[in-house]
Each structure stands twice: as C-alpha cells, then as structure tokens.
C-alpha cells in the first residue's frame, strides 16, 4: 500500500536541492522539518511554522538529535503569516494539516487560515518549485478544509501551476494530498 507521507518526500526531492530555501508550514513533531533541513544542507534555509509551543520544543529537540545543520528558523506563529517571516522565493513547501500528532486534538488547522497560507506559499514559489498539502478528511473541519482547497485549486491557471490530487479511491476517510508544481 502507498505510504502517502513517503510519497510527498519523493516529489519534494525532485525539486529541492542543497542550498535551496523551503518551508514546513505545519511543523508538528518536526519530521518534515528534519527531512527538509537535511535535504537543503548547511547552505540551505528552512522556515518552520506552528502555533503550538509544544511543536517548537519537540521539533527543536528532533533537529538537534538528528544532527541537522543550523539552517532552520522555528516560528511560533500561524502559517498564514508566512510573508511576515519569509522574504525570499522557496523551492518547496510542506503542509500536513489537522492536529499535532499525540495531542488532545483540540487545536487543528482551519480552512480560513490554511487557504491564505497556501495562496501565500504559491506566491512565494521559485521557478520549478513544489508544495505538498496533506489533508485529513476523517473529521469535520478536515473534510471541509480539503473541499475548500480543491475548489481554490480548481480556479488556478493551469498555465502557472499544475495541481494534482493523490487519493486512495476506495477509502473515502483516508488522508490524501495535493501536489502543486509551477512551470
């Protein structure tokens, strides 16, 4: 069976190189931040966002334990404010929507801020860049978030970005993701 989180990384690796700039828009427990940090290396830059202090603590520990270079900035703020912190083009971005794994699930991403964050991320894309957006439709807001994103993506010019949806068809509540690549 397809491991969607591993598949994200396959697409990211096609675009992201050592020395590039990228964003983890939902750092959570830091696994994507570590992946991005190691991929861009010492000369690269990673910006990682989360609204929960616990996410920053866990991610900082994971980065240090993993031997990552000091190429990251952990930002305790919402991903929809990305342009307040990132003033350069990015080669890759990762969104893993929903709630912090292992938490009480009382704090989760919301379609209003996610839509703004994704639009800002697309605007920050460098040439030949990629963004992945993992959606978890197994709860009410996650389902609504995914539908709102799909509607937004359907309105984008195919001459500027290509948006692909990767979903397990015979498992309607399973996570899926969008892959956004620019031309």
pLDDT tens readout for residues 58-71: 999 999 999 999 99
Say if residue 100's pLDDT is above 70. no
Tally the domains of the chain: 1
- Tokens representing 159 are 């001459």
Q: Is-contact 52 103, C-beta < 8 A?
A: yes
pLDDT at residue 2 greater than cutoff 80: no
76 in Cβ contact with 47 (< 8 Å): no
Element (H, E) at 8: helix 4-13
3-state secondary structure 31-90: HHHHHHHHHHCCCCEEEEEECCHHHHHHHHHHHHHCCCCCCEEEEEECHHHHHHCCCCCE
Distance, in Å, from the CA atom of 53 to the CA atom of 105, rounded to the nearest integer, reads 15
The domain in which residue 104 lies consists of: 4-182
Per-residue pLDDT band for 99 (boundaries 50, 70, 90) equals: low
Q: How far apart are CA 77 and CA 64, in angstroms?
A: 21
> Which of the four pLDDT bands, split at 50, 70 and 90, describes residue 3?
confident
Give, to the nearest 10 degrees, the angle between helix 31-40 and helix 4-13: 20
Say yes or no to pLDDT of 102 above 70: no
pTM, whole model, 2 decimals? 0.95
The CATH number linked to 152 is: 3.40.50.150
What is the structure's pLDDT at 1?
A: 67
How much is the mean pLDDT over the chain? Answer: 92
- pLDDT-based confidence at residue 121 (cuts at 50, 70, 90): very high
Per the document, the length of the chain is 183
* Secondary-structure breakdown of the chain: helix, strand, coil percentages, each rounded to the nearest 5: 35, 25, 35
Whether residue 125 is predicted with pLDDT greater than 70 in this model: the reply is yes
């Amino acid at each position: 069976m397809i491991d969607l989180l591993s598949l994200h990384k396959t697409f990211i690796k096609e675009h992201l190189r050592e020395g590039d700039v990228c964003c983890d828009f939902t750092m959570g427990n830091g696994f994507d931040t570590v992946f991005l940090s190691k991929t861009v290396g010492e000369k690269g830059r990673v910006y990682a966002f989360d609204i929960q202090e616990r996410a920053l603590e866990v991610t900082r520990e994971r980065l240090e334990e993993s031997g990552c270079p000091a190429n990251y900035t952990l930002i305790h703020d919402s991903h929809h404010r990305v342009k307040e912190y990132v003033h350069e083009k990015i080669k890759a971005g990762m969104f893993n929507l929903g709630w912090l794994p292992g938490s009480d699930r009382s704090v989760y991403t919301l379609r209003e801020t996610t839509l703004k964050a994704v639009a800002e991320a697309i605007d920050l894309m460098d040439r030949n860049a990629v963004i992945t957006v993992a959606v978890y439709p197994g709860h009410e807001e996650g389902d609504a978030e995914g539908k709102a994103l799909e509607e937004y993506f359907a309105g984008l010019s195919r001459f500027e970005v290509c948006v692909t949806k990767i979903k397990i068809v015979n498992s309607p509540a399973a996570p899926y993701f969008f892959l956004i690549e620019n031309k």
